[in-house]
Chains A and B, each alone.
Chain A
Amino acid sequence: MPSLLFWFFSLLMLIGGIAVVAFKNPVSSALSMVASFVGLAGLFIGLNAYFTGIIQILVYAGAIMVLFLFIIMLLDLKVETGRKPKLGPVAAGFALVIAFAIQLIGVLSSSPDKELPKLDLAAGAAHYQDISPKIANTLSVEQKLPDVHIIGQTLFTGYNLPLQILGVLLLVATVGVVVLSKRQTN
C-alpha cells in the first residue's frame, strides 16, 4: 500500500497534466505544468531520490517554466484563448491516448504484481567499500542513501568523458543562440 503522499502527488501531477491541455489560457496552462512538475518531484522524493526531485523543481519549475511564462506574458495571446478546438486534432489526440492506455494496460497486466524489495543498504555499503569509503560509511552507519554522493561518484568516474562532451555541447548551443540572435537584429 503506497503512502497517502504518493496518491496526493500522483493526483497533483495528473490533474496538472490534464489542466495543461484543458485550459485555454496559456498562462494557466503553464502554471498547471509547474504544478505537474512539483508533483513529479514529490514522487521522486518519495522514491528516496532527493537529488533528482530537487533538481526537477530547480531546473524545470524554477528556471525553464519561468522563462516560458515570461515569454507567454510578453506575447499577447488573445487569439489562442478565443479559438474553438477543431474536431480532427481532438479526435486524433484521443485516439493516441486510448492507444497508449491500451498498451500500458497490456504491459502492466503482464508484469507480476508484487511489492518492490526494500532498499538493501548493507549490500550497497559492501559494494561501495572499495570505491568510496565515505559513501559506504553513510550507507552502513547512518542507514541513509547518500544519493547526491552516489550520483556524483557515478557521473564523474564512470561517465566523465560523456559529461564533458555534453558540457561543451551546451556551451556551443549557447554561443550559437547568441550569434543567431545578434545577426537578426543587425
Chain B
Amino acid sequence: MLLILAKVIILTFVVVLPLVPISVYFERRFSAIIQDRVGPNRVGMPLTLLGMKKDFSFFGLVQPMADGVKLFLKEDFTPAHVRKAFYWLAPALTVVPALITLAVIPFGSDISIAGQKISLAIADLDVGPLFIFSIASLSVYGITLAGWSSNSKFPFIGGVRSTAQMISYEICLGLSVVPVLMYFGDLNLGKIVQYQSQHGWLLLPLWGHDAAHPLQEKLLFLIPAFISFLIFTISIFAETNRMPFDLPECETELVGGYHTEYSSMKFAMFFMGEYAAMVVGSALIITLFLGGWSLGPWFDQWAAGLAIGSFKIGGFLNLGVFLAKLIGFILFFILVRWTVPRFRYDQLMKLGWVIFFEAALVNVFLGALVIAAPTLSAAVIGIGAVLLLVLCAAVIWVAKVSEAPAKRNSGLLLQD
C-alpha cells in the first residue's frame, strides 16, 4: 500500500509531471532554432540581485518555472455567461485521464531491494494498452464540456470538432495496434517490453533469434509493424490535438478553440493536459514499437546485474534510457508541429475514415497472415496474399471513386 503510494508520487509527480514544463521549454527553444530565432535563453539564477556581476542562465532552463508562476498569478476570470459547474469541471477532466493512464506504463525494469522485486510500473495490469485507450477516451469529455460550457461560438465549434476528431481517430488507434498485440500475444505492457528486450524491438528485431523466434519471421513482420507504427503515431498526433491536426484550437479560425474563455490556471490545465497526453502517447509508442526501457540485450543484461550490495539499481538505468527515448520522441512531436502545415477539416476526416481505417483493417489481416504463415501450407498463404491484394485494390478503387463527386470543403460542420 505504502509502496504503491510511493510509486504513484514518484513516477507521476517526480518523473512525468516535470516532463510537461520541460517539453514546453523544448518546444520554445526548438521552434526558435527552426525559425532561426534565439528563443527563451535568459531566465536563470538572478545572481545580479545578490550583488554579483553576471546572471547565471542555464540556457533558459528556468523559463518553464517562470511561465508557471506567471500562469498562477494571472487573474482567474470567469465570464458571466458560462455554465459554471461544467466550466470548472472541464479542465480537470482533461488533465486527470492523461495522468491516470501513466499507471500502466513500465518505466524501467524491476529493481530489487534485498530480494524483494519492485516493478517500475505503478500497476502491472494485464490489459495495459486497453486501459490506456479507455481512460484516454474519457478525456474527450473535458474538451467537449469546455466547448459547450463556455457558451459562446468559437469554443463550441472547437469542442464539436475535437469530439468528432477524437472519436474518429480512436478507431484507427485501436485497430492499428491489433497486429502488434497479436504478435506479442499479450496485453501486459511489462511483458511486451521484456519480450522486446530479449528478442529485439518490434521495429529493430536484430537480436535474440532462436527456433521459436526465427529471424526471417521477425523481419517479415516488420511490414505490418511499420504500417501499424505509422498509423498509430499519426493517430496519436490527432488524439492529442497536436499541430497537423490541431483543428479544435486553430487560432486562425477559432481564436483559441475550446479554451478561448479560460484564463489563468484553468487555461494552464488544458495546456498541461495536452502535453501530458503527448507524453503518454510517446511513452506508449516507445513501449509498443521501440523497445520501451531496453537498449539492446548487452546493455540490459549489464544493467540487470548491476547492484550495490543487495540493492539492484539496474532499473534506474533503464528508467534513464526510457526517459531519453521519451524526450527524443517529444522532440519529434515538436519537429512535426513546426514543419507540417495544418490540415483542412475535411482532409482530416478523410484521412481518418477513408485511408487510415481501411489501411489498419487490411493491416490486421496482413499481420495475421504473417504470424500464421509458418503453420500454413504454401497454397493457403498464396490464396491469403492474393485475397489481401484484391482487398487492397478494391479499397483503393472505392476511395478513388468516392473522391470524384465529393464537393470541396464539405466538412462535417458545413454540410450543404
Residues of A in contact with B (beta carbons under 8 Å apart): 27-28, 31, 34, 50-51, 54-55, 57-58, 61-63, 66-67, 69-70, 73-74, 134, 144, 146-148
20 contacting pairs across A/B (C-beta < 8 A): A31-B145, A50-B127, A54-B134, A57-B135, A57-B137, A57-B138, A62-B140, A63-B137, A63-B167, A66-B137, A69-B163, A70-B160, A70-B163, A73-B148, A73-B159, A73-B160, A144-B126, A146-B126, A148-B126, A148-B187
CA distance A125 to B145 in the complex (A): 47
CA distance A31 to B160 in the complex (A): 17
With a cutoff of 8 Å between Cβ atoms, the chain B residues found around residue A66 in the complex are 137, 140-141, 144, 163, 167
Residue in A50, A58, A74 whose Cβ sees the most chain B Cβ within 10 Å: A58
Residues B160 and A74 in contact, CB atoms below 8 Å apart:
yes
List B139-189 residues whose CB lies under 8 Å from chain A.
140-141, 144-145, 148, 156, 159-160, 163-164, 167, 170, 185, 187
CA distance A62 to B138 in the complex (A): 5
With a cutoff of 8 Å between Cβ atoms, the chain A residues found around residue B126 in the complex are 50, 144, 146-148
With a cutoff of 8 Å between Cβ atoms, the chain A residues found around residue B187 in the complex are 148
CA distance A63 to B133 in the complex (A): 11
Tell me, yes or no, whether B6 is within 8 Å of chain A by CB: no
Q: What is the count of residue pairs linking A and B with beta-carbon distances less than 8 angstroms?
A: 66
Q: How large is the interface on B (under 10, 10 to 19, 20 to 34, 35 or more residues)?
A: 20 to 34
Tell me, yes or no, whether B267 is within 8 Å of chain A by CB: no
Tell me, yes or no, whether B316 is within 8 Å of chain A by CB: no
Residue in A closest to B137 when the chains form the complex, CB atoms: A62
Residue in A34, A54, A57, A144 whose Cβ sees the most chain B Cβ within 10 Å: A54
CA distance A74 to B140 in the complex (A): 16
Given contacts A50-B125, A51-B127, A69-B144, contact A61 B138 (CB under 8 A): yes
Residues A58 and B160 in contact, CB atoms below 8 Å apart:
no
Residues A70 and B127 in contact, CB atoms below 8 Å apart:
no
Tell me, yes or no, whether B380 is within 8 Å of chain A by CB: no
CA distance A167 to B145 in the complex (A): 33
Tell me, yes or no, whether B130 is within 8 Å of chain A by CB: yes
Residue in A28, A63, A147 whose Cβ sees the most chain B Cβ within 10 Å: A63
Instruction: Give the 6 A-B CB pairs with smallest separation, nearest first.
Output: A62-B137, A58-B134, A57-B134, A73-B148, A54-B130, A50-B127
Residues A27 and B138 in contact, CB atoms below 8 Å apart:
no
CA distance A28 to B145 in the complex (A): 11
Residue in A closest to B135 when the chains form the complex, CB atoms: A57
Choose one: A61, A63, A69, A73; the contact of B170 (CB below 8 Å).
A63
CA distance A117 to B104 in the complex (A): 29
CA distance A67 to B166 in the complex (A): 11
CA distance A117 to B352 in the complex (A): 48
Tell me, yes or no, whether B195 is within 8 Å of chain A by CB: no
Residues B86 and A27 in contact, CB atoms below 8 Å apart:
yes
CA distance A73 to B258 in the complex (A): 14
CA distance A58 to B101 in the complex (A): 13
Residues A27 and B148 in contact, CB atoms below 8 Å apart:
yes
